[in-house]
Amino acid sequence: MSKMLHKFRGTLVGALVGDCLGSNYEGVSSTLPWGEVTDYTLERIKDEKEPIHYTDDTAMTRAICKSLTEEKKYDNRSMAKAFVQEFFKEPGRGYGAAVGTVFKRLRDTNPEDVTLPARSQFDGQGSYGNGAAMRISPVALYSRSSSEVQKNAQENALITHAHINGVNGAVLQAEAVFKALPLEPPNLNTDKFIDDLLEVAKKLEEEYEESSKEKEDGGHISTSSPQKKPFLYFKKLKEMKELLNKGETLEPETVVETFGNGIRAEEAVPAAIFSFLHKGRESFQESVNYAISLGGDTDTIASMAGAISGAYWGVNEIPELWKSKCEGVEEAIEFANKIFELKEERKDDE
Ligand code: R7I
Ligand code: MG
Ligand code: MG
Ligand code: MG
């Protein structure tokens, strides 16, 4: 099997097992003792008779895979339709409290512009939840360049998340997966990885400043323009670089103080990238366990850390126990195969 196919499978299976295992703790307010997490993920799940269910993070990831492989291209209308279908088929997968409104509006009004309903969320500021970032890994697999990753991730995020932090969180998570794919473990240059992401964050945040300025210059400050919070991800990535260069194992508390562990994209995405860079260099398993130990939005942080770490390590490095216990592993592998084929075909039209 080609090394890259192995990594495509690792990405989708990694995202899946992170979601399934993390969901056991979603919403715990504090960090979790390492022993508690490993006792659950490496011992207690052995006795599970039923498969460990996936949540909305995976449901939406699968919807993206379905759209890509059916259309054989990136198409935002088809993405929106796939999300709506998936949501109404299984609304009980643990979706964010507000995003259901977007799906209802999409279904009931069938707008020409599928990003319209998301823009009226939260009094017009749009959602800054991590729901766009949590599902984005297939977009990173499908896209051929950083600029394609950014464009597709942004479009995809806008279907549900209009707030700049929700959107940019998805773009950075997609870029992290994209940049992990060509790396050859165990040699991970964390400074280089962060520097590349810093460049992306800087560009995104400058573009946003530029567009806010244009709005003001036009003498019209839109009430629907998202709250200004300049260079938020850039700042967090800078802090991440400093923390990682301390060269010691970092207590989850320190990480949570620095990045947060909540449902906001600006917290969960840095927490996930950090889990990969800090622990994913050792193994896939450590990365996911560490992400869970941060507490808070554990399914989502572990799923995003799992996607990046799976892109880095490949599917064979994901514990067999996890693959045998989580619901939907076969489908994740099939989708990875199909997206891999699709990308191979698209190579020829370059
Ligand atoms: O972002 P979203 O899809 O939720 C994803 C999360 C993940 O943890 C999943 O595992 C699942 O559990 O949910 O859904 P949204 O409803 O758009 O956002 C999630 C939550 O973030 C909202 O329900 C709000 O509590 C909060 N939130 C906001 N609160 C105030 N103002 C998001 N945006 C805002 C805001 O602008
Ligand atoms: Mg979830
Ligand atoms: Mg939830
Ligand atoms: Mg979650």
Name the closest ligand to CA 96.
Answer: 1
Q: Please check if 55 is assigned to a binding site.
A: yes
Please tell me the least confidently modeled range out of 33-47, 87-101, 217-231, 319-333. 217-231
Residues of the chain above pLDDT 90, percent: 90
Note the Cα 128 to chain centre separation in Å.
13
Structure confidence at residue 272 (pLDDT): 98
Domain boundaries, the chain: 3-213+232-346
Q: For ligand 1, say whether the CB of 97 is within 6 Å of any of its atoms.
A: yes
Structure confidence at residue 106 (pLDDT): 98
- With a cut of 80, say whether residue 348 has pLDDT above it: no
Q: How far apart are CA 305 and CA 280, in angstroms?
A: 8
CA of 252 to the centre of ligand 1 (A): 23
- With a cut of 80, say whether residue 63 has pLDDT above it: yes
Q: For ligand 1, say whether the CB of 128 is within 6 Å of any of its atoms.
A: yes
CB-count exposure of residue 347 (10 Å: 0-12, 13-18, 19+): exposed
Structure confidence at residue 213 (pLDDT): 80
Note the Cα 338 to chain centre separation in Å.
20
- With a cut of 50, say whether residue 80 has pLDDT above it: yes
pLDDT digits (tens, 9 = 90+) for 110-166: 999 999 999 999 999 999 999 999 999 999 999 999 999 999 999 999 999 999 999
Give the mean model confidence (pLDDT) for residues 306-311: 98
Taking residue 213's Cβ as centre, other Cβ atoms within 10 Å add up to: 10
* Residue matched to tokens 């003792």: 33
Q: Which helix (H) or strand (E) holds 105?
A: helix 99-109
Taking residue 26's Cβ as centre, other Cβ atoms within 10 Å add up to: 20
pLDDT digits (tens, 9 = 90+) for 209-253: 888 887 766 644 444 455 555 589 999 999 999 999 997 888 999
CA of 56 to the centre of ligand 2 (A): 5
Structure confidence at residue 221 (pLDDT): 46
Average pLDDT, the chain: 95
Fold exhibited by the domain 3-213+232-346: ADP-ribosylglycohydrolase fold (1.10.4080)
Instruction: Answer whether the bond into residue 186 is a cis peptide, omega within 30°.
Output: yes
The two three-digit tokens of residue 179, written as one number: 């940049």
pLDDT digits (tens, 9 = 90+) for 161-211: 999 999 999 999 999 999 999 999 998 999 999 999 999 999 999 999 888
C-alpha dihedral, 301 to 306 to 312 to 318, nearest 10°:
160
Q: Does the complex come out with an ipTM higher than 0.90?
A: yes
φ and ψ at 145, to 5 degrees? Answer: -145, 165
| pTM attached to this predicted model | 0.96
